[in-house]
A and B are shown apart, each in its own frame.
Chain A
């Protein structure tokens, strides 16, 4: 099958799409489109889209897995892959039809605008630096691999361990990580009661540190959710190259964090704008028909699962409906929203993430319309426990929020870096009703032990009992902590 388009076609359609982007006041980074084939696309997916990335076997696993799924027809390839960078880079599959290329480009501009403007991306990532950073990471990792005194096995061991902890990080870039001095000040304030807002007038001296009962020797002073950074900064048995590897993994995880936290918003946003652009672009009828089919495939419901494209788009549609008076999204495709509506949408796209977006805008009516339900295991079956009716919708929504982004991952934090006064590491699982998978917890503690080099302990709750899992030199132990 020959290609049904030329580069010139793409450039022409891109120019028209960009007119629409300007008309709708989307605010994008420069955009680069790169044409790739299937194998390249699978490669980009395996390396998170990065043109250059450090090597690790897990990316090979990801590649093989994706290709196998694709070969078996279990999973298709995405039409597009976009990187949050400035300029933004997107890959277009060479074998896609002209319609799919136009659709993809329109969709990419939606993501591009989201990356540039959403608070969590703008504050949490450095789009203009990321490609260079990732490249430097790759160079450094390779230099350690090639260093005869280090080598592949040793590098892999640290990367394996760091990957295991990479998403155990502070989840909100709006809540900055406190410096040791700030933590110290806060600990002192806590020890001395409410700080005196009129200290200057009262002219009382700040209490002497030694005179307080604050335990300033504690490490960390506040529970620290950034496991990797804590280990990097306080691990006593790490070589410089190991610290560097840990920092690299942490840095890349932070870059991807906003994507996890805004999946529903972001895919809904891109789908919303590609639809508006495609509907006003003056497509030839055959291309337009193909677009309708493709669009419905992308935003369809996936029974039993939650399709972020589908749910995200439904919420954005609803926001438009609220602004512009009720219209029924099922009756016809909406034209682009009016200027005032757009301003409202822009504010929301700027300041929310999935958890807050769902909490604010997913109401009973919309949930009933989307037929969202909560299921639970009962015996060998998964059974619908709650549906989105008057009595159940809040719980369904709350559960949905709990499985969204980093909420789907257990929150683990460092309580003590000198546990038992023997340089042990005490972690705490902040239990929210969901127990850990203990087999995985055990293996993950092995990784923590690798990095920390001394005993590590994890306090968690299993079947409503407090349990401490420990990994020391003599292996793995579990003990139940009775109520004090």
Chain B
């Protein structure tokens, strides 16, 4: 029998990197599993306005390693401190851990510490990681000129002295000399050029020397700058995109909007809010609830209050317009408006609603209408989708959500459509 010792080797550390590929693969699977379950995640809590540090529990499916195992509640054998008695409680049943106490974590069908919690920030990253910036951003981004910042952009031949480009001026002079090939004996613009030369600082003269211009040595006189040589920076005021945005959530809270519909709406608003927030520094969020009348409410009331009575969608839009007029002037704010409803409006209100919708489109970067129709409502005649065909603004979008599984695809489709408005139907036809 022999013993061999192998000392620690830093280079051997590379060997532990063999796990890097497998770890990455596992992380990819976790992310995919989360993405597949996003609709579930946003349902649980009021997370629309939450801090990004907040952790939420994620029910991950798909990366468990399944085997044939016994059921959870089988009981087992344990060790006590010395006088365990029958009937004594030693742990909690049914939490999937299967074992009482704090023994080493087994490979049971239990929770995996790192799989269950994720910060909101990570969740959002995962949600949006494969979405491209839609064109709606570029097109609708409000360009607000800020007087404070300026930017050099190109050159011109006239300007004020502080904007003069010494380098460009010198280059122009060298070019001119190369073109003429001879030192000028007399020059009608001599005096003016002399003036200009006098203004050039020492380093400019040095640069002149370094370019190989030895005109002084050859002709006993310098190859002088002329007015024509002078170049000035073209100064343009800097256009900074205004980084404020507001998401206006308008929801039908009439009696027909049941828990399921509100849940679907919440899911959608959450995604919209998070999406906008990835683009702007500050995002404000406004909740407008309406039935026959509209009011501004907080998040809790928005999702939890149900009113009875009829529905006047125009009231919600008009309330939104009022809020925009008062607090979010379109020249300063990027406005994203979205309305969720089950499409059950008083027919007499439709004209007014379309007019208000057109107005909202004018002031908003984007105005979206989501019709939430869980299966039970499929056969109802009342629908706003038909009515809204009359809204022709390019930044208006409609979509229909029937089940919670639809929310995320609908949201994605809505962004994709935004990107290629003409191709979408053709593509669908080709796919069919």
Contact = CB atoms under 8 A, between A and B. Distances in A.
A303 B109 CA distance: 21
Interface string B73-84: 111111111111
Given A31-B4, A47-B19, A68-B114, A373 B77 contact: yes
Nearest to B63: A61
A375 B75 contact: yes
A394 interface: no
B23 A378 contact: no
B84 A40 contact: no
B348 interface: no
Interface in B380-411: none
A72 B117 CA distance: 14
Nearest to B80: A371
A307 B106 CA distance: 12
Contacts of B69: 409-410, 436-437, 440
A64 B6 CA distance: 26
B8 interface: yes
Interface string A141-155: 000000000000000
Contact of B113 (A74, A304, A399): A74
A206 interface: no
Chain B CB within 10 Å, residue with most, of A68, A392, A446: A68
A20 B76 CA distance: 39
A7 B83 CA distance: 46
Contacts of A385: 75, 86
Interface residues of A, number: 96
A382 B80 CA distance: 14
Contact of A384 (B8, B24, B65, B86): B86
Contacts, number: 265
B70 A36 contact: no
Interface stretch (B93-101, B162-170, B271-279): B93-101
A447 B66 contact: yes
A47 B20 CA distance: 12
A55 B104 CA distance: 26
B88 to A, nearest CB: 5
Contacts of B102: 302-304
Contacts of B65: 58, 61, 160, 163-164
Interface string B1-40: 1111111100011011011011111110100000000000
B217 interface: no
A31 to B, nearest CB: 5
Interface stretch (A10-18, A175-183, A235-243, A476-484): A10-18
Nearest to A447: B66
B402 to A, nearest CB: 22
Contacts of B15: 40, 43, 51
A234 to B, nearest CB: 20
Given A40-B15, A164-B66, A396-B77, A371 B6 contact: no
B227 to A, nearest CB: 68
A471 to B, nearest CB: 12
Nearest to B74: A434
Contacts of A446: 66
Chain B CB within 10 Å, residue with most, of A74, A377, A444: A377
Contact of A43 (B3, B5, B19): B19
A403 B104 CA distance: 16
Contact of B71 (A29, A305, A378, A437): A437
A167 B82 contact: no
A75 B92 contact: no
A56 interface: yes
Chain A CB within 10 Å, residue with most, of B67, B87, B99, B112: B67
B85 interface: yes
B299 interface: no
Contacts of A40: 12-13, 15-16
Contacts of A376: 75
B431 interface: no
Nearest to A156: B25
B235 interface: no
A33 interface: yes
B66 A60 contact: no
Interface string B280-318: 000000000000000000000000000000000000000
Given A374-B76, A381-B89, A384-B86, A87 B26 contact: no
A446 B66 CA distance: 10
Interface string A1-34: 0000001001100100010010000001111111
B75 A304 contact: no
Nearest to B6: A34
B90 A304 contact: yes
A310 interface: yes
Interface in A53-108: 53, 55-61, 63-65, 68-69, 72, 74-75, 87, 94
Given A68-B113, A72-B113, A307-B79, A410 B70 contact: yes
Chain B CB within 10 Å, residue with most, of A65, A305, A403: A305
A403 B77 contact: yes
A168 interface: yes
Contacts of B80: 301, 303-304, 371-373
A427 to B, nearest CB: 9
Given A59-B22, A60-B25, A385-B75, A409 B103 contact: no
Contacts of B91: 304, 375, 381-382
Nearest to A163: B65
A39 interface: yes
B84 A384 contact: yes
Contacts of B79: 301-307, 310-311, 370-373
A39 B16 CA distance: 7
B379 interface: no
A371 B83 contact: yes
A69 B13 CA distance: 21
Contacts of A63: 19, 22-23
A447 B66 CA distance: 9
Contact of B89 (A33, A53, A383, A436): A383
A14 B3 contact: yes
A183 to B, nearest CB: 24
A43 B23 CA distance: 11
Contacts of B63: 57, 61
B70 to A, nearest CB: 5
Contacts of A37: 8, 13
Given A55-B21, A75-B104, A35 B71 contact: no
12 contacts: A11-B5, A32-B5, A59-B22, A60-B27, A303-B101, A372-B79, A377-B94, A403-B76, A429-B68, A434-B71, A434-B74, A440-B69
Given A376-B75, A447-B66, 13 more contacts: A33-B4, A36-B12, A43-B18, A75-B104, A302-B103, A304-B78, A372-B77, A373-B77, A374-B77, A377-B75, A382-B91, A384-B85, A410-B68
8 closest residue pairs by CB, A with B: A304-B101, A305-B103, A60-B22, A377-B93, A60-B26, A304-B100, A60-B23, A35-B8
